Amino acid sequence: MPARTPGVPTPVGPAIAGAGPAGDVQITHEDIDRARDRLAVDRARRSGRFAWTRLLWLLIGPGVLVMLGENDAPSMLSYAATGAQYGIGFFLPFVVLTFLMAYVVQEMTVRLGATTHRGHAELIFERFGRFWGSFAMGDLVLGNFLTLITEFIGIRAGLGFFGVPPVVSVAAAVCVVMAAALTGRYWTWERIALGLAVFNGIFIPVAFLVHPHWGAVGGSLLTWTPLPARFNVGTLTILMADIGATVTPWMLFFQQGAVVDKGLQPRDMRAGRIDTLIGMVLAMLFAIACIVATSPLHAHGINAGDYKAADFARALLPYAGRVGSTLFALGIFEAGLVASITISTSSAYAFGEVVGTAHSLNRPLREGGPFYLVLLASAVTAGALVLVPHAPLEFVVLVVNVIAVLAMPPALIFLVLLVNDPQLMGEHRSGLWSNLAVITVTVLLVAAGLLYGLTVLLPKVFGG
């Protein structure tokens, strides 16, 4: 492949994928598929009366997937614990705030991917050098692997409610992950993942089945009720977990990689923003529904610490009935399955970008072997660890979102520097309000991390 000139974006789906001794141009499967996708987009743009609707249908995907993918097993279990321990008063508007933070961050990855046509890891290595690139990759690898473990914990727990053996649950999930990836077509993979992601809405009927006081739910969204007790380690852990349920490093790498793989152009940015906004609204509604669904446990003074993973579904039996409990268990399973698909793909994107091998779901297995090997290996290894007897699975679920929050500020610093680079971004670099918004998010995350650290170190001072 020809050498890249710094600051000059490479075309989407490079026209020259390789050349023989005589300089023959070699067009790859990836180039052909992406060209077909762009042709469909161009036709939709010229299709007349319903052009915008058709265009959005073709361009939607990365934003919805990244937001619903982050409504994963540990996130939904964090929301379940939130409702069970604290009810709805403080945390419903707090969760809305965290999703607004997520939109601010993810909108930047849309602009980066559509403008540069390069993945997040590739840009960090190019702009900041091997040391900082390796630092960012270490951040991603650790976070992704721990999170993948929790996804398989959710899969195991959700299907465990129905008596499915753990080894069967994990093996079936790995098969689904690979079956989706090996379609050899980004568009097909994306539609499979989106079809599964829609079932994250299963928490909404559970919320209705517990018969909450909807006036109180609406009131809590409009008025921010203070927490009833002083901050302590338990309270800060829930706060950090709920933040980590919406803003994590893997989301940056995944959405930017997906935007590039999908072939979005600068003129598609508006659709990319709408895609991300739709994903944010859906994920926020489903998260709120999960909190509302488990709030009866708080109202009846039930100790949420007695319930782990799918046991939340069993705890809801008196309030949501068999149907509601079944749906809740299925929701935890779905959350883990969708996230295992997106997070393993995020790791494969980053690996391919860094080592310079094929990193597209439009590549067939024979052309993208290392990409698919990383995808499979990450899923298999994480799934295997979930099957280890007496592994501290509950502890991993508890801390993974907290680790995500602590790891996010360095990732945001790289992101802010990239989207403000005039050589990379040109007219699409961030403006004043965008920078103020992301700086505010970064400051809040740093403050949350410092407060959590002080609370752990000085529990008596902070009401432990």
In a domain? residue 36: no
pLDDT digits (tens, 9 = 90+) for 262-299: 888 888 899 899 999 999 999 999 999 999 999 888 76
pLDDT of residue 460: 58
pLDDT of residue 246: 86
Q: Among the listed ranges 74-83, 187-196, 301-310, which one has the minimum average pLDDT value?
A: 301-310
Whether 433 shows a pLDDT value over 60: the answer reads: yes
pLDDT of residue 221: 86
Question: How many angstroms separate the CA atoms of 48 and 278, rounded?
Answer: 24
β-bridge mates for residue 19, sequence order: 25
In a domain? residue 149: yes
Buried b (16+ CB within 10 A) or exposed e, 408-429: bbebbebbbebbbbeebbeebb
Average confidence (pLDDT) over 428-450? 85
* Contact of 333 with 72, CB cutoff 8 Å: no
Question: How many angstroms separate the CA atoms of 333 and 326, rounded?
Answer: 11
Q: Which two tokens stand for residue 65?
A: 């997937």
In a domain? residue 208: yes
Question: How many angstroms separate the CA atoms of 191 and 228, rounded?
Answer: 44
In a domain? residue 334: yes
Q: Among the listed ranges 202-216, 244-258, 351-365, which one has the minimum average pLDDT value?
A: 351-365
Average confidence (pLDDT) over 116-142? 84
In a domain? residue 375: yes
Residue 239 banded pLDDT, cuts 50, 70, 90: confident
Residue 20 banded pLDDT, cuts 50, 70, 90: very low
47 C-beta neighbours (distance < 10 Å), count: 13
- Please state the domain count of the chain: 1
* Contact of 87 with 228, CB cutoff 8 Å: no
What's the chain's average pLDDT? 81
Q: Among the listed ranges 19-28, 221-230, 356-365, which one has the minimum average pLDDT value?
A: 19-28
**pTM, two decimal places:** 0.85
Whether 200 shows a pLDDT value over 80: the answer reads: yes
Query: Which SS3 state, helix, strand or coil, does residue 90 take?
Result: coil
Q: Which two tokens stand for residue 403?
A: 């680790």
Question: How many angstroms separate the CA atoms of 233 and 231, rounded?
Answer: 7
In a domain? residue 22: no
Question: How many angstroms separate the CA atoms of 53 and 38, rounded?
Answer: 16
Residue 168 banded pLDDT, cuts 50, 70, 90: very high
pLDDT of residue 241: 82
In a domain? residue 64: yes
Question: How many angstroms separate the CA atoms of 120 and 113, rounded?
Answer: 8
β-bridge mates for residue 25, sequence order: 19
Question: How many angstroms separate the CA atoms of 4 and 417, rounded?
Answer: 20
pLDDT digits (tens, 9 = 90+) for 58-104: 888 899 999 998 888 888 888 988 888 888 888 899 999 999 999 99
Q: What is the CATH number of the domain that holds 438?
A: 1.20.1740.10
Nearest Cα to Cα of residue 206 among 283, 290, 88, 296: 290
* Contact of 350 with 120, CB cutoff 8 Å: yes
Give the domain range for residue 417: 60-457
The DSSP annotation for 201-218 comes to GGHHHHHHHT---HHHHH
In a domain? residue 132: yes
> How far is CA 132 from each of CA 3, 135, 138, 256, 369, rounded to the nearest angstrom?
22, 5, 10, 19, 27
294 phi and psi angles, rounded to 5 deg: -95, 0
Question: How many angstroms separate the CA atoms of 253 and 6, rounded?
Answer: 20
Nearest Cα to Cα of residue 119 among 103, 131, 137, 139: 137
pLDDT digits (tens, 9 = 90+) for 386-415: 888 877 766 676 677 777 777 788 888 888
5 C-beta neighbours (distance < 10 Å), count: 8
Buried b (16+ CB within 10 A) or exposed e, 376-391: bebbbebbebbeeeee
pLDDT of residue 462: 54
Q: Among the listed ranges 33-37, 335-339, 433-437, which one has the minimum average pLDDT value?
A: 33-37
pLDDT of residue 128: 87
Whether 206 shows a pLDDT value over 90: the answer reads: yes
